[in-house]
Structure 1
Amino acid sequence: MLSSGTVFVLVVSVLVRSTVSLDTANVTSQSRSGRALSLFEVVKFKNDACNPGGSSGRMGTCYTVDECSRRSGSPSGTCANGFGVCCIMSLSCGGSSSDNCTYLTESMSPGSVMECQYEICKCAPDVCRIRLDFLQHTLVGPVIGTTESGIEDSGNAIGDCITDTFSVKNPRAKSPPDICGFNNGQHMIYDMASPCSSLDFVLGGGGQARNWDIKVTQYKCGEEDVAGPLGCLQYFSNPMGRISSYNFPTTSTTVDENTTHLSRQTYSMCIRREAGMCAICYIPAIIPLVEAADDQASFGLNKGEDAAVDTECRDDYIQIPFGETVDAIEGGPGIQLFCGRAFNVDTAATVPASVCSSHLPFQIHYVTTQNEVDKGKNNEMINFPGGIVGFSLDYRQVPC
């Protein structure tokens, strides 16, 4: 029996997945003296992304302690005014996640032969885009070519991922191209139509260690300003930056003779237009000194020794709608396709130059076929720069 002077206050923390803000609801009862006593406090908060701070830089999702434990997450710091914990979600091979922010982290020793699959499911029915940030993404690279080697009868394999492969299985929507090699710092975004998709690694042995650390973020329909328009495999939100093909050595200041782009690539890269900007210009990020004749610029696609455009670009190319020189923005019909050994609108040029476009939206489309030309004067591995390089371009937006 309770004495008349004893008061019990029961506080219940309840997790709800809803769009309401943090609030409390009181359920009251009357004491013997007629006073209203608070018996329950129901705490409601969103399962939003949270930043626990610290040196790891990892983001989490706000859950209760129990919910974080049930999801096999790691609590790190608090959220929701202390009612929740910032839960860091990490998957190992074979794992599945329906959280807004998840990390996929593995390190594999040389000689590994295995398959590693992750299942990524929508955290809400109205999720439209999945972004993969490759904090680390190093696999065995493709079959490489060697510029100036003049090798023939090997073009069918160059650029192919035949040892290791990373692929996205994306039912009812377009899947990204398969990739391999060095992709640290790159990213990939795909449209999500089915409830779940899978991310698959296939490792085929060899003497190289592999590692990956991938941040998976989900975006709802209507969040194109941060996730990019539908259909854009990469999205860049800064007024200036750098765009590189997959397997390009982005940490190097030179382009060596073995730099090789991946085959079978078809995708679009989009840049958010800043307010007050009316055009965008691109130029190779690496341009060697004239006296260093054997160094390569960070652009080389397809056959030919000089710049090539439009009808000359039948196999590997990038498309910049209505590309023009920096002095002729909006001054002419423009060029659509760019390839060859020099990035330039002038087909007689042997050195790179800026290519600009005022066409909206700001976008590049990239295509490589399954084979490299390795015969005669059109051999893509003869003369610097080689036609097997791929690209790394710096861009800047131009004010109106």
Structure 2
Amino acid sequence: MGLKCLVILFGLIKFCKANETMNTDTLSKVADSRATGGIYLTKWNRGLERGHQDTKKIEHRFWSPVQRESKFLSLFTVVTFPNGGCAGASGDNGTCMTARECSSRGGSANGYCANGFGLCCIFMTSCESSTSENGTYFVNSGYPAPYDGTGSCELTVIKSHPDVCQIRLDFDRFSIAGPEQMNHVCNQDQFIVSGGNPIPAICGTNQGSHMYVDAGIGTTNPVKLTFVTSGNPFERLWKVKVTQIPCNTIYKADEGCLQYYTGVSGQLQSFNYHPVSGLQLSNQDYGICIRIERNFCGIQYTACVDTVNNRSRAFTLTGNSNNPVNSMIGSGSGPNNCANDWLLIPCAANVGRLQPAQALCTDRICGGTFAADLSMQASSVLIGDCCKQNLGVAERSLLF
């Protein structure tokens, strides 16, 4: 990013020229003038004029000719700072820039940055608009108040540079109507992403979740984000942060990863996960990628405890997690196989399990007990592999 300059001090210092050589009469007249408080203007005669020229010749022997402009010296204090990320006074993230640049690009100043020399510029937009600014917030009409209308609200995301490969969406606020109760299909409100890789439509409560959208290389079609609201009255609220990711960065996700997690620990949860009102969304098919960190050669997964419903595990895919049931694993046509909904973890094994002589590679996990074995007891699942592992979620997903 380019450096932006801010001039904070400027001034002019005027240096007076050395007094010309004057004779005794002239000096006495000046003295008389000062004594009387008057102003004395010397009337130069030819003798004085000639003496002045002689003096100038003597000066030129020792000093270079003084130009008229040398009477003035301009002093500038210039501060430069990069257009990097900053935290605004409201808690939103923005870009550090000058006040003039922020205003010309349609942003709003929200606190200071660069030790007070710059302003944290926040970009926030709503329905039927477009943006090429990195870090733009896409909010509902009337935000921060909820929206109770119906219709379509769309934002067009244009690449800020041809080297941008991905768009990351962070759902700081996301509350729209959930799926219907029978088949868990989003047939009222929907959030739709188009223009990039295929992404399933989602609805319900998704605050804290994120998505990665593959936007291709070079100048391609823009990515469009659309909230469709219909049906019964509902207090809808959304605030989606749009971050553009260059191709050559280390934090770019692999292609095909709808979600991408880093760090040595953390939690994953399905879209519309809520311990009380959440329902697993139908027609979901996407990949979750977890980066193996340096000096680690495996990933261990354990179902979280559901404290709200007093359950020891927050996992259910085609099964009832309130009552212990045999776990269902693998693919095929048997009664214990996952044929409809499943979580795909390649070559998963229960922690502490003795490997049989001919080790089988369990891939699909479903049911109401999270385990890679046919068991009534939930278990942690371990993948011992020194490369990045992908989780494929078909139909419905889970919370770890």
1:154-165 map, 5 Å? 158-165=183-190
Give 1:198 shift: 0.9
Q: Where does residue 362 of structure 1 map in the other structure?
A: 389
Q: Where does residue 274 of structure 1 map in the other structure?
A: 293
Evaluate the alpha carbon distance shift between residue 23 and residue 303 of structure 1 in structure 2; reply closer, same or farther with a 3 A threshold. same
Evaluate the alpha carbon distance shift between residue 43 and residue 125 of structure 1 in structure 2; reply closer, same or farther with a 3 A threshold. farther
Evaluate the alpha carbon distance shift between residue 112 and residue 310 of structure 1 in structure 2; reply closer, same or farther with a 3 A threshold. same
Evaluate the alpha carbon distance shift between residue 40 and residue 192 of structure 1 in structure 2; reply closer, same or farther with a 3 A threshold. farther
Give 1:83 shift: 4.9
Evaluate the alpha carbon distance shift between residue 338 and residue 123 of structure 1 in structure 2; reply closer, same or farther with a 3 A threshold. same
Q: Where does residue 265 of structure 1 map in the other structure?
A: 284
User: Which of 326, 329, 343 matches 2:370?
Assistant: 343
The normalised TM-score by structure 2 is: 0.72
Q: SS at 1:104's partner residue?
A: strand
Q: SS at 1:68's partner residue?
A: helix
Mapped pair 1:179 → 2:199: no
User: Which of 315, 319, 325 matches 2:344?
Assistant: 319
* Greater RCO, 1 or 2 (C-alpha within 8 Å, sep 6+): 1
Superposition RMSD on alpha carbons, in Å? Answer: 3.1
Does the Cα contact within 8 Å between 2:147 and 2:235 map onto a contact in 1? Answer: yes
Does the Cα contact within 8 Å between 2:6 and 2:117 map onto a contact in 1? Answer: no
How many pairs align? 324
What CA distance in whole angstroms lies between the structure 1 residues aligned with 2:380 and 2:278? 22
Q: Where does residue 98 of structure 1 map in the other structure?
A: 132
What CA distance in whole angstroms lies between the structure 2 residues aligned with 1:309 and 1:329? 17
What CA distance in whole angstroms lies between the structure 2 residues aligned with 1:281 and 1:38? 66
Give 1:318 shift: 0.9
Letter in 1 for 2:184: G
Give 1:325 shift: 1.4
What CA distance in whole angstroms lies between the structure 1 residues aligned with 2:349 and 2:135? 41
Give 1:278 shift: 1.2
What CA distance in whole angstroms lies between the structure 1 residues aligned with 2:329 and 2:139? 42
Letter in 2 for 1:391: L
Which whole-Å deviations, capped at 9, do the CAs of 1:349-397 have from their partners, x for residues lacking one?
22321111023213211110xxxxxxxxxxxxxxxxxxx7x4111xxxx
What CA distance in whole angstroms lies between the structure 1 residues aligned with 2:164 and 2:133? 11
> Which blocks of at least 5 consecutive residues in structure 2 are unaligned?
8-65, 332-336
Structure with more helix by fraction = 2
Which whole-Å deviations, capped at 9, do the CAs of 1:79-138 have from their partners, x for residues lacking one?
456553211000011121111111122257575211100111111111111111111101
Which whole-Å deviations, capped at 9, do the CAs of 1:200-231 have from their partners, x for residues lacking one?
000003132110111111111122x3232222
- Which structure has the larger Rg over C-alpha atoms? 2
Mapped pair 1:48 → 2:87: no
What CA distance in whole angstroms lies between the structure 2 residues aligned with 1:100 and 1:219? 9
Which whole-Å deviations, capped at 9, do the CAs of 1:244-277 have from their partners, x for residues lacking one?
110111xx4xxx5x64211111111112222221
Evaluate the alpha carbon distance shift between residue 66 and residue 21 of structure 1 in structure 2; reply closer, same or farther with a 3 A threshold. closer
Which whole-Å deviations, capped at 9, do the CAs of 1:6-36 have from their partners, x for residues lacking one?
xxxxxxxxxxx53x69799xxxxx9525589
